[in-house]
Amino acid sequence: MDEIRTRPIISSCDGPADKLSWFLTKILSPLLVYVDAHLRNTKQFRESLALCDFSNAPNLHYQSFDVVSLYTNVDSNLAVDACLTLLHEHEKEIRLYGLTLSEIRKLLTVVLKQNIFRFNNIVYRQIRGLAMGSRIAPLLAIIFLDSIEKRALRRGIIYYKRYIDDIFIVARSRCSLRKTLQNLNSANDNITFTVEDPGEDNFLPFLNTKVRIRSGKVESIWYKEPASANVLVHSRSCHPYCMKNMRIAQETTTHDSTTTIRRAEDILRENGYRYEPSYCWKPHHSLHGAVMVMPYVDERLANRINCAVRNSKIPARLIFRPPRSLKELLTSSRQYESVCVREHCSICTETQICGLKNTVYEVKCMACFETYIGETSRPLFERIDEHRRALTQPASYTRNAFSRHRTLRHTMERPPKLDVSVLHRNMRDPLERKIREALEIRRRTPAINSKEEMAAAMQLISISG
């Protein structure tokens, strides 16, 4: 770690401060409206350029600035101060859910301290910067840069917009650009800006577009980085057609040149798309309706469900969720945390499974080799500990399947050892988890499961079928 410069990107999903970070992001996100330079996407960038009148200044100069390693160089205390200052200015326009500014400051401090991660079974703490996997980090980084820009920007700047750490700037002279860059670089010791000039054709890449300002007129074409692969959601993927169409629409516009459109068409053909009559439909959306997340099976069934909900006038907003991809099933974003670090863990053998949540699991009694199948949304070790307590103290858990197993099969013996394996993981939907459990019970017929559990499983399968 000392020899190689690294940038830890650790997902905070399901972390100790994840829900709190989500809540703070919900409260503070409306502040972005008051960050004048902020851009949401390429579409907003092109629209803002189109609204500018550059005809009065024909000899314009433009560049793009980029912040070097923004997240790891942001001073978290200064970021919180900048956020609270902006919040204080617009406190009346922001819904705080009963919290005071001092309470929000304390909550932000708690969330930002949750930047501990493990690598090769060594625990590290990020002592400077924002954790890149935290929900609140992008918001704080944007507002922190806004506080720097308010001090650094001077006269001579005609246009200044920023997408997180990528900046597009237009000025009346090169001197104004140079002074602005100097002011930005001197505003904070840890924040450094780099510069990119237009190419020989005077086009300047920014986000996924290239811009040229000539004779007061703005020209823009679609841009794709050379290192970027020609990969889109494939036409045969199990995603609703509306999602595929939306993804394509984000990549192209009717204002692009013929050459650019041909390039886009080539990429679409590489990903299996062909010219066909349009029969796309949009998911039913009722204003202020409840969100209904539906599993996406195929286009025909999704369309039938959509029509039924729309015709019934149910106040709902339908979202069709595609199934998990093969990559999601076979890979893990936490590959360096595969070794269990719990002392005297009796569940994990070669890889760590004791901390997994939302699983369908199998437990094998090592004395008689009978099995039990169950499901849980909690960490697996908590559920297995309950089974072990039932084996150890069967009189205290009379309704537990392992209590009956100990009483009937191992009355005069010591509590047997258990071998645990995970059959299905990352199943957040409780109904889907129950159905998977029921299918495994029918397929494997585990002897330890009670008759009531077996009957409930069969009933669930018959209903879902």
Dump pLDDT digits (tens) for 413-425. 888 999 999 999 8
Is the residue at 313 inside a domain? no
Residues 35, 182 within the same domain? yes
Report the mean per-residue pLDDT for the chain.
83
Classify residue 159: in a domain, yes or no: yes
pLDDT tier, 458 (very low <50, low <70, confident <90, very high otherwise): low
245 domain residue, yes or no: no
21-35, 111-125, 187-201: lowest mean pLDDT where?
Answer: 111-125
Are residues 204 and 66 part of one domain?
yes
DSSP 8-state code for residue 215? T
Domain boundary pick from 191, 222, 253:
222
The answer to whether position 98 is within a domain reads yes
In a domain, 177, yes or no: yes
The last residue of one of the domains, among 177, 196, 222, is: 222
Instruction: Please report the pLDDT score of residue 225 as a whole number.
Output: 72
Dihedral angle of Cα 351, 357, 362, 365, to the nearest 10 degrees: 70
Q: Are residues 41 and 177 in the same domain?
A: yes
Q: Using CA atoms in the order 328, 333, 339, 345, what is the torsion angle rounded to 10 degrees?
A: -70
pLDDT of residue 1: 47
CB 418 within 8 A of CB 365: yes
Tell me, what's the pLDDT at 277? 57
User: Residues 229-261: pLDDT tens digits?
Assistant: 666 666 666 667 666 666 656 555 445 556 666
Counting residues of the chain whose pLDDT is more than 90, the rounded percentage is 34
Residue entry with tokens 């699983």: 359
Among 21-30, 114-123, 146-155, 309-318, which range has the highest average pLDDT? 21-30
Q: What is the pLDDT of residue 124?
A: 83
User: 288 in a domain, yes or no?
Assistant: no
Reported as type and span, the H/E element at residue 48 is helix 42-50
Q: How many domains does the chain have?
A: 2
Q: Indicate if 169 and 26 belong to the same structural domain.
A: yes
pLDDT of residue 311: 87
Side-chain half-sphere CA neighbours of 313 within 13 A: 0
pLDDT higher than 70, residue 88? yes
Query: How confident is residue 405, by pLDDT bands cut at 50, 70 and 90?
Result: very high
Q: Which two tokens stand for residue 357?
A: 């949540």
Q: Supply the range of the domain harboring residue 156.
A: 18-222
pLDDT at 82: 95
CA dist list (Å): 248 to 230, 281, 335, 461: 12, 15, 32, 38
Res 218: pLDDT: 86
pLDDT in tens, 268-282: 676 766 666 555 666
- Please say if the pLDDT value at position 178 is more than 80: yes
* Strand 359-365 versus strand 418-424 pairing type: antiparallel
Residues 36 and 165 in one domain: yes
**Residue at a domain's end among 185, 207, 222:** 222
CA distance 268 to 254: 16
In a domain, residue 248? The reply is no
Query: Same structural domain for residues 214 and 356?
Result: no
Is residue 282 included in any domain, yes or no? no
Same domain, 207 and 356: no
* Shared domain check, 206 and 347: no
